[in-house]
Amino acid sequence: MAILKIETLGAEVLRRRAHEIQPSGEDPELDRLIEDMFETMYDAHGIGLAAPQVGISRRLIVVHVNEEGEEPFALLNPRIVEAGKAKEKGEEGCLSIPNISAAVERPATVVVEGLDPKGNEVRIEAEGMLARCLQHEIDHLDGILFLDRLSPLKRNMLVKKYRKQES
Ligand SMILES: [Zn+2]
C-alpha cells in the first residue's frame, strides 16, 4: 500500500469531469488503487476521497463515515438517483483544500446507486453525515468543489484565506 499525493485547489484534475470506470471482478490494479485511496484518506483523517483528488480522473470514491458505525466502502460510477426535498446545513472541509471549512446546504437525504469493486449493483439510502459525504465526493467526480456550493462572497473570502496560508 502507498500514500498517494492529494491534489489541491488549483489542480486542473479537480475541475475535470471524471470518466466512468469498468469493474472487472478481478483487477489487481483497481484493488490496489482502492487500498491506496483508503490509506491516503485515513492518513489525512478524512471520511471520503474521490479518485480525482489523487490525480486519477475516474468515477471512483471511497467512504468511511465511522462516527455512525458505517463500514468503509468503495463505490464505482456512483450517482444520486433521488434527493430529499428537505435541506440541511452542515460544516464541510475537503482534503484538497486544507484548513478551510464552511457550512454547506445540501439535501438531507439521498439515494445513491453505483457498483462495488466486483461490479455488483449497490443502492445506498443515506442521511446525516453519510448523505453529505456522498454528495461531496460525487461532486468531485463532476469537477465541483464544496466552495462552489457557497455564495460568491463567502467563496471569495475562503479562497483568499486559503491562498494566504499557502503563501
Ligand atoms: Zn473534497
Residue 141 covered by a domain: yes
List all residues 6 or more positions away from 60 whose beta carbon is below 8 Å from its beta carbon.
18, 21, 33, 34, 37, 50, 51, 74, 75, 76
Q: What's the 49 CA to ligand 1 centre distance in angstroms?
A: 7
Number of structural domains found in the chain: 1
Q: How far is the CA of 116 from the centre of ligand 1 (A)?
A: 21
Q: Is residue 63 part of a domain?
A: yes
The sign of the CA dihedral 142, 143, 147, 149 is negative
137 tagged catalytic: yes
Residue 126 belongs to a domain = yes
Domain span holding position 149: 12-166
Per residue in 102-148, pLDDT tens?
999 999 999 999 999 999 999 999 999 999 999 999 999 999 999 99
Give a yes or no: residue 96 inside a domain.
yes
**Ligand 1 center to 129 CA (angstroms):** 14
Q: How far is CA 53 from CA 4, 61, 81, in A?
A: 9, 10, 23
**Residue 93, phi then psi, degrees to nearest 5:** -130, 180
Residue 162 cell numbers, joined: 486559503
Q: Tell me whether residue 6 is in a domain.
A: no
**Of the candidates 40, 81, 42, 34, the residue with the CA atom closest to the CA atom of residue 62:** 34
107 lies in some domain: yes
Mean of all residue pLDDT scores within the chain: 95
Which residue is catalytic, options 7, 127, 137, 166? 137
- Amino acid 15: pLDDT: 98
Q: What's the CATH code of the domain at 116?
A: 3.90.45.10
Residue 118 falls within a domain, yes or no? Answer: yes
